[in-house]
Amino acid sequence: MRFLGQFAQARDLLLLPPRIGRGEGIGRLVFAHCLGDAEALRQDVDQGGVDIVDAAAEGGELRVACGVGIGHRGGAYHAQARNSKLAKPGPPQQCVRAMTADVVPLPRRRPTLDPMLALTAHGMNAVNAVILERMQSDIPLIPRLAGHLISGGGKRLRPMLTLAGADLVGYQGARHHKLAAAVEFIHTATLLHDDVVDGSELRRGKAAANIIFGNPATVLVGDFLFSRAFELMTEDGSLKVLKILSSASAIIAEGEVSQLTAQRQIETSEERYLQIIGAKTAALFAAASRIGAVVAECGEREEQALDDYGRNLGVAFQLVDDAIDYDSDAAEMGKDRGDDFREGKMTLPVIFAYARGTPEERKFWQAAIAGHRTSDDDLAEAIALIGKYDAVEATRERARHFAARAVDAISIFPDGKARAAMAEAAHFAVARGY
Amino acid sequence: MRFLGQFAQARDLLLLPPRIGRGEGIGRLVFAHCLGDAEALRQDVDQGGVDIVDAAAEGGELRVACGVGIGHRGGAYHAQARNSKLAKPGPPQQCVRAMTADVVPLPRRRPTLDPMLALTAHGMNAVNAVILERMQSDIPLIPRLAGHLISGGGKRLRPMLTLAGADLVGYQGARHHKLAAAVEFIHTATLLHDDVVDGSELRRGKAAANIIFGNPATVLVGDFLFSRAFELMTEDGSLKVLKILSSASAIIAEGEVSQLTAQRQIETSEERYLQIIGAKTAALFAAASRIGAVVAECGEREEQALDDYGRNLGVAFQLVDDAIDYDSDAAEMGKDRGDDFREGKMTLPVIFAYARGTPEERKFWQAAIAGHRTSDDDLAEAIALIGKYDAVEATRERARHFAARAVDAISIFPDGKARAAMAEAAHFAVARGY
């Protein structure tokens, strides 16, 4: 039996690890011993991992609340220990020898980005200062336009990945602040150009920059931020980082062009779609994460692990983004609802609904993706068809696969705050409804 | 008396240097001796330099045809030697002791880009190979769109500046080929984005990329080429070059945004205009030239001289571009005639005509620049007003000033093919009619 530390929020905890990871069997071992007769829970564990989200000893009983791991659709559970046996007095890790528990379902707890936000809060202050300083220009329109998007409530997930990655490998310096800002500038430039490319009207719930400032200024300020990103990297002076981010930038552009050529093409396959989002979204996630290891100069194995984490997380993130655009349960989004539909973008929910549809439904999709059915009624019909074939959930299922791969990729690193925050960020990416 | 070599096209030449430079008095020395009594020509020389464009000995006479240097508006001359005296038999450099000549005006010879093309022909083959190779992508639309512009007959002046600069400082390696390609990619990306920003319909006499491929693809392929430029620089590995070109790229974007905010602003001053073109055009000319010295690692003085050459040449080049758009004498251009006028761009010919105009004419300009008078008749009226105040010639006069500064800047380098070609490129930039 392995013990991985104390559960932070449960002071009377006997033996449970703070989080039961997936993929290394740690969680399974612990549960197999602790909750030997909890068949329902054991099945979940066998299916791919369970998170313990709360645990406390009350009298002779151990209460355990379990979140559900990636890859499992069930709810959470309350596991009530019945016969935890203490073999001898002493620290719980060395005392508990056997335990069984009754398991009852609990309301499910959603993973959040909070641990990631907490982990990177200090560093993000420094990154934000760089962003604010380096988006300035003597031409007042530049900071005004850039600021509209930059202060517009983005999650700044990508620079956070750089900071978290650096934290995970034990980097102590400050180089990654500039580089994380460079990553965010590249992302912001891409968003500005995307809004022009798509003719977007809303971005993050506000009027898109192109609507307020026009396409010309939006294109040019994107170019400015892109140039600033390379200035920041050059100041840092790492050719390795420059190689990673210049290559990622070219791949992003290729992905965007590829998406453009797939637009209104009903026969786009899942494979092609995955290629597109791998380029347009995941390449920057991968680069952002990898840079954390590059500044720490900790070796190719660690770099690759962080690259894999970011890449899979990026794919999961984009899949969920695309699912949300058709999710009838989803809360109101910042992004203009139904944009993908009206633009004839072939995202995975549509690919699924089209593949599974009747001949008549396929005719609807052909017309819709070709741009002949773009009314609100048509959008409602599309959402209904996607609901009929559970295509949003199927897309999220795919996303969970990639998120699981992301979590697995960083299992080479010691467990701790950074790894836990990054794992929960992956959980969050697929569980989020906005 | 100094002799600088044989005049290439005149096999019977006695003593004339291949080209008489400006700023070092070489031309003056030679002419003072050779053409002692040619007052008209001597005056030209005193005013700032004369080019010898042809010379031949016929019978006992030396025929000399002279082009006119920068800073002088007069024509060319035919100088017929009357009493060239050969002191002794032997090579002409050591034999001619004195000479006078009759000087008659000749049709003026236009400077060309030919010496620059000849100087860089070999290197440009290598640069073009890099351009062709690195504009490729698995996404077929990318090379198709990029190729439309890249193979569309541009002069590729900027990469030539890198090659010529490297030649001037005696660089022997091949690093500058990739870097010159990077410069051209940045330029091409800028042109693609410009066409979207301006809504151009023609570029270099062909339909602009945005007309054929649409704005979205044009923006994104610009981004792709921009990224490729930084990939090329990163492969080269010079942080100095990366700094120069990332900084230049940010300045270009600032210049473009600045131009956008000056658009339709009738009160734009010549100073503001010079700031704008200094950023949007001259910054890349300067960077391209400077890189020639950077790869040769020859020192800050040489770098700065080449930077100054490129920057002044860039300003001159843009001034003439802007003059040509209103030049009633100019040949048909690739650029859509009157684009600047219809877009309400405040270029120097307009600034001059507005400043010199009557109150009524100013009202016309106010309405036109505000976008209320954009018909063909309005354009004809604008060209007539610009003609009335000689504003095209005044703009070219300004251009000649900057071209002269460009030529002066490289006078620190030894005379030779490279310097002569670069000087003539500056002459060409201001004399060209297209």
A219-265 pLDDT, tens digit per residue, is 999 999 999 999 999 999 999 999 999 999 999 999 999 999 999 99
Q: How far apart are the first and last CA of chain A?
A: 39
CB B260 to CB A217 under 8 A? yes
Identify the weakest region by mean pLDDT among B25-34, B197-206, B352-361, B387-396: B25-34
Whether residue B329 is predicted with pLDDT greater than 60 in this model: the reply is yes
Q: Which residues of B touch A243 (CB under 8 A)?
A: 231, 234-235
C-alpha distances (whole Å) from B82 to each of A394, B27, B102 are 96, 20, 7
Identify the weakest region by mean pLDDT among A411-420, B7-16, B107-116: B7-16
Give the residue on A whose Cα is nearest the Cα of B225.
A250
CB A254 to CB B138 under 8 A? yes
Sequence-distant contacts of A57-62: CB under 8 A, at least 24 apart: A57/A12, A57/A13, A57/A14, A58/A12, A60/A84, A62/A14, A62/A34, A62/A99, A62/A101
Whether residue A57 is predicted with pLDDT greater than 90 in this model: the reply is no
| pLDDT score for B433 | 77
Give the residue on B whose Cα is nearest the Cα of A214.
B197
Residues 87-126 of B with CB under 8 A from A: none
Give the DSSP H/E element, type plus range, for residue A112. Answer: none
Residue B46 — pLDDT band, cuts 50, 70, 90? very low
Q: Which residue has the higher pLDDT, A78 or B225?
A: B225
CB B139 to CB A257 under 8 A? yes
DSSP per residue over B57-87, as a string?
EETTEEEEEEEE-TT----EEEEEES--EE-
| pLDDT score for B327 | 85
Identify the weakest region by mean pLDDT among A317-326, B33-42, B339-348: B33-42
Residues 242-301 of A with CB under 8 A from B: 242-243, 246-247, 249-250, 252-254, 256-258, 260-261
Residue A100 — pLDDT band, cuts 50, 70, 90? very low
When scoring B141, B219, B221, B260 by the number of chain A Cβ atoms within 10 A, the one with the most, hence best to mutate, is B219
Alpha-carbon radius of gyration of chain A:
23
Q: What does the pLDDT average to over B62-74?
A: 40
CB A141 to CB B257 under 8 A? yes
SS3 of residue A3 by DSSP: coil
Residue A250: which of B231, B250, B254 has the nearest Cβ? B231
d(CA B407, CA B425): 9
Using N-to-C axis directions, what is the helix angle for B391-409 and B348-356, rounded to 10°?
A: 130
Residue B337 — pLDDT band, cuts 50, 70, 90? confident
Residue B234: which of A246, A254, A258 has the nearest Cβ? A246
| pLDDT score for A391 | 96
| Share of residues in chain A with pLDDT > 70 (%) | 73
Whether residue A2 is predicted with pLDDT greater than 50 in this model: the reply is no
d(CA B227, CA B246): 11
Q: Are B159 and B127 a contacting pair, CB within 8 Å?
A: yes
Identify the weakest region by mean pLDDT among A397-411, B214-228, B319-333: B319-333
CA distance to partner chain A, nearest, from residue B180 (Å): 17
Burial of A173 (0-12, 13-18, 19+ CB in 10 A): exposed
CATH code for the structural domain at A114-431: 1.10.600.10
d(CA A224, CA A137): 10
| pLDDT score for B77 | 46
Identify the weakest region by mean pLDDT among A100-104, A322-326, B316-320: A100-104
d(CA A310, CA A266): 29
Residue A364 — pLDDT band, cuts 50, 70, 90? very high
Q: Are B78 and B103 a contacting pair, CB within 8 Å?
A: yes
ipTM: 0.77
Whether residue B66 is predicted with pLDDT greater than 50 in this model: the reply is no
**What are the structural domain ranges in chain B?**
26-106, 114-431
CB B227 to CB A246 under 8 A? yes
Q: Write out pLDDT tens, residues B355-373.
A: 999 999 999 999 999 999 9
| Mean of pLDDT over chain A | 81
Residue A139: which of B226, B235, B254 has the nearest Cβ? B254
Whether residue A62 is predicted with pLDDT greater than 80 in this model: the reply is no
Nearest of A137, A157, A96 to residue A281 by alpha carbon? A157
| Mean of pLDDT over chain B | 81
Residue B316 — pLDDT band, cuts 50, 70, 90? very high
Identify the weakest region by mean pLDDT among A4-13, A99-108, A157-166, A287-296: A4-13
Q: Are A190 and A318 a contacting pair, CB within 8 Å?
A: no
SS3 of residue A309 by DSSP: helix
| Share of residues in chain B with pLDDT > 90 (%) | 67
CA distance to partner chain B, nearest, from residue A227 (Å): 5
pTM: 0.78
C-alpha distances (whole Å) from A332 to each of A21, A431, B162 are 32, 16, 53
Q: Where are the alpha helices (DSSP H) in A169-214?
A: 175-198, 209-213
CA distance to partner chain A, nearest, from residue B356 (Å): 29
